[in-house]
Chain A
Amino acid sequence: MATPAPMDSDKIKGLVCRECGKEYPAVSLHVCDMCFGPLEVQYNYKVIKPRLTRKAIEAGPKSLWRYVDLLPIAGNPTVGLAAGFTPLVPAKNLGDELGLDTLYLKNDTVNHPTLSFKDRVVSVALTRARELGYDTVACASTGNLANSVAAHAAAAKMQCYVFIPHDLEASKVLGNLVYRPNVVEVEGNYDDVNRLCSEIAGEHRWAFVNVNLRPYYAEGSKTLAYEVVEQLGWDAPDHIIVPMASGSLLTKIWKGLNEFHKLGLIDHMATKVDGAQAEGCSPIATAHKLGRDFFKPVKPTTIAKSLAIGNPADGYYALKAAAESGGTMDTVTDEEIVEGMTLLAQTEGIFAETAGGVTIGVLKKLVKQGIIKRTETTVALITGNGLKTQEAVMNAVGRPTRISPSLVHFQKTFGLGNHER
């Protein structure tokens, strides 16, 4: 259902169909009326370019809103004001371990407020939802997205519906309930939930962030690319490793890098964007390996549940983006995911969720295969916090060492000897 747009700022041109190129005003519409292709936000770069300088950006807020000129909102941000601008951490220890001279981790495990990169997309989507006159937001999700929508809706005093499959783990359900949205458990299998939510999005005047607001929502992911470039001192890396579920994040990283280049904020951009998936759910990476421009949907079986999308909405575009950039894609087993998580924690002190294990596991593989060379500047996107997926590493981290409250026993147990003063 289309909604009239408010006074749009001149920076947003409108929406455009990714397939047939038909143009639309910037309303809540996500599928082309003509061909049913997905829609994307288009900007007036001519208007944006003169005012968007490195200096102007550096003077902006320490959040993703310093890039507001390239985000699809008409006025000032009103939701998620503290999201983004997470640390870019030089990872010397992990680099040494893997054989890379210059490795950085983009650490979205500490994104505000729900500890995943979804806080970026949701901030943009809810700000836009308000501009379009919505008072109710919704999403269908099994994890990070639901947490972020529920938290932001609470803070923004918006009505909220979160749809989840009825057999989700208790801890994930709780992570939504605490914000008091309407949490709707849908009976039936995963496909039933999926179809119902898509139909609800078509029927109710709600801002369904990843359905009818998807064109706006997805743009929030570009800020990860912008921040990486700015934090590298206005330089684009040689490689960025991106975990993929729907494939939207990867697509938008590529878009963001190209925008910065086109707008003259960086002189040179030859970044290869590499995609990472779990072997148990790798429709996009498998298509890439087979050299196909289309993917075959799969039934996911992996511990990387945040990446378990068997029929990814942006899979086709992610394949295209990676190919255009000269990047590659690869997969890791569940075992390698856990190894990646513990390696990251033990070398850099960052506890990432399973998606981070996928990223590190694939990074390790690409370095080993010589696809990423030792001297290439590489950035790995760590997109979610390990506290959310503790069960994944439960059996891989050992137990505490138990002792009696005795100094001698302690020293003996740890081979520390008896230090005489």
Chain B
Amino acid sequence: MAHLRFHLRFPEDKIKEPVLCQINRAFPKVDTNIRRADVREKTGWMDVEFSGDPAEIERAIAGIRQKGVIVDPIELNVVE
């Protein structure tokens, strides 16, 4: 079981969509745990921990990306 942490950014038109709910339903074996979030009228981000099988987490992340949400590592940019 892996625990991977990601920073999710929601574009303006996605803020109101229940993206995480949909992902939880599509990937029931991956647990999501929101640790920190800031959702305003036009911007929104969440720091989320994903727990489960690493390959299944990768698929869940790909699913989130497909919905137009931008997924970065929790550290943001590590290529300095």
Residue ranges of A at the interface with B (Cβ–Cβ < 8 Å): 19, 30-31, 34-37, 139-142, 145, 163, 165, 190-191, 193-195, 197-199, 201-202, 208, 210-211, 214, 245-246, 294, 296-297, 309-313
Interface centre among A36, A297, A310, A312 (most CB of B within 10 A): A36
Contact A165–B47 (Cβ < 8 Å): no
Check if B79 sits within 8 Å of A193, measured CB to CB: yes
B13 within 8 A of A: no
* Interchain CB contact under 8 A, A198 and B74: yes
Asked if A36 and B5 make an inter-chain contact with CB atoms under 8 angstroms apart, the answer reads: yes
**Taking the nearest CB of chain B, how far is it from the CB of A223, in angstroms?**
18
Residue of B nearest to A34 (CB): B35
Asked whether A199 and B73 contact (CB < 8 A) given A19-B36, A36-B5, A297-B9, the answer is yes
B49 to chain A, nearest CB (A): 8
CB-based contact B35/A36 at 8 Å: yes
Q: What are 22 A-B pairs at a CB distance below 8 A?
A: A31-B5, A31-B75, A34-B35, A35-B35, A140-B79, A141-B79, A190-B79, A194-B73, A198-B73, A198-B78, A199-B4, A201-B75, A202-B4, A202-B5, A210-B78, A210-B80, A211-B75, A245-B80, A294-B43, A309-B79, A310-B77, A311-B72
4 new A-B contacts, CB < 8 A, other than A36-B36, A208-B78, A214-B75, are: A36-B5, A36-B47, A246-B77, A296-B43
Query: Would you give the 0/1 interface string for B37-80, flagging 1 where the beta carbon is closer than 8 Å to chain A?
Result: 01000010001010000000000000000000011111111111
Asked if residues B79 and A197 are in contact (CB atoms below 8 Å), the reply is yes
Give the 8 A-B residue pairs with the shortest CB-CB distance, closest first: A198-B73, A36-B47, A313-B76, A36-B35, A140-B79, A311-B77, A311-B76, A145-B80
User: Which A residues are in CB contact (< 8 Å) with B70?
Assistant: 297
Q: Which residues of B contact A210 (CB under 8 A)?
A: 78, 80
- The CA of A204 and the CA of B49, in the complex, are separated in Å by 19
B75 and A313 form a contact (CB under 8 A): yes
* Contact (A31, B74) CB under 8 Å given A36-B35, A294-B43: yes
- Kindly list chain A residues whose C-beta atoms are within 8 Å of the C-beta of B75: 30-31, 198, 201, 211, 214, 313
Across the interface, name the chain A residue whose C-beta is closest to B49.
A36
Q: For residue B53, give the distance in angstroms from its CB to the closest CB of chain A.
A: 14
Residue among B4, B72, B76, B79 facing the most chain A CB atoms (10 A cut-off): B79
Q: Once the chains bind, are A194 and B72 in contact (CB under 8 Å)?
A: yes
Name the CB-closest residue of A to B80: A145
Which residues does chain A contribute within 8 Å of B9, judged by CB atoms?
297
A129 to B5, CA, bound (A): 23
Whether B80 pairs with A246 at a CB distance below 8 angstroms is yes
CB distance from B45 to the nearest CB of A (A): 8
| CA–CA, A297 and B77, complex, Å | 10
Chain A residues, CB < 8 A from B49: 36
Measured between beta carbons, the chain A residues less than 8 angstroms from B78 are 140, 194, 197-198, 201, 208, 210-211, 313
Verify A142–B79 contact, CB threshold 8 A: yes
Bound-state CA distance A313–B80 (Å) is: 10
User: Which chain B residue shows the least CB distance to A145?
Assistant: B80
Give bound CA distance, A145 to B77, whole Å: 14
Tell me the complex Cα distance, A202–B5, Å: 10
Chain B residues with Cβ under 8 A from A37's Cβ? Answer: 36
* Chain B residue contacts of A194, Cβ below 8 A: 72-73, 77-79
**Residues in B whose Cβ lies below 8 Å from that of A35:** 35-36, 47
- In the complex, how many angstroms separate the beta carbon of B28 from the nearest chain A beta carbon? 23
Q: How far is the CA of A62 from the CA of B5 in the complex (A)?
A: 42
The smallest C-beta distance from B27 to any residue of chain A, in angstroms, reads 18
Nearest chain A CB to B34 CB, angstrom units: 10
* Bound-complex Cα distance A133 to B31 (A): 33
- Give the residues in chain A near B74, CB-CB below 8 Å: 31, 36, 198
In the bound assembly, the distance between CA atoms of A31 and B47 in angstroms comes to: 11
Task: With a 10 A CB-CB cut-off, give which of A35, A193, A202, A310 has the most chain B CB atoms.
Answer: A202
Contacts of A195 in B (CB 8 A): 71-73
Question: Which A residue's beta carbon lies closest to that of B40?
Answer: A294
Which one of A31, A165, A312 contacts B77 once the chains associate, using CB atoms below 8 Å? A312
Interface positions, chain B 7-42, Cβ under 8 Å from A, are 9, 35-36, 38
- Contact between chains at B36 and A140 (CB < 8 Å): no
* Cα(A34)–Cα(B70), bound, Å: 23
Q: Which residues of B contact A34 (CB under 8 A)?
A: 35
- Taking the closest CB of chain B, its distance from the CB of A279, in whole angstroms, is 19
Q: Closest Cβ of chain A: how far from B65's Cβ, in Å?
A: 10
Question: Of residues B36, B47, B71, B77, which shows the largest number of chain A Cβ atoms within 10 Å of its Cβ?
Answer: B77
Enumerate chain B residues within 8 angstroms of A36, measured Cβ to Cβ. 5, 35-36, 47, 49, 74
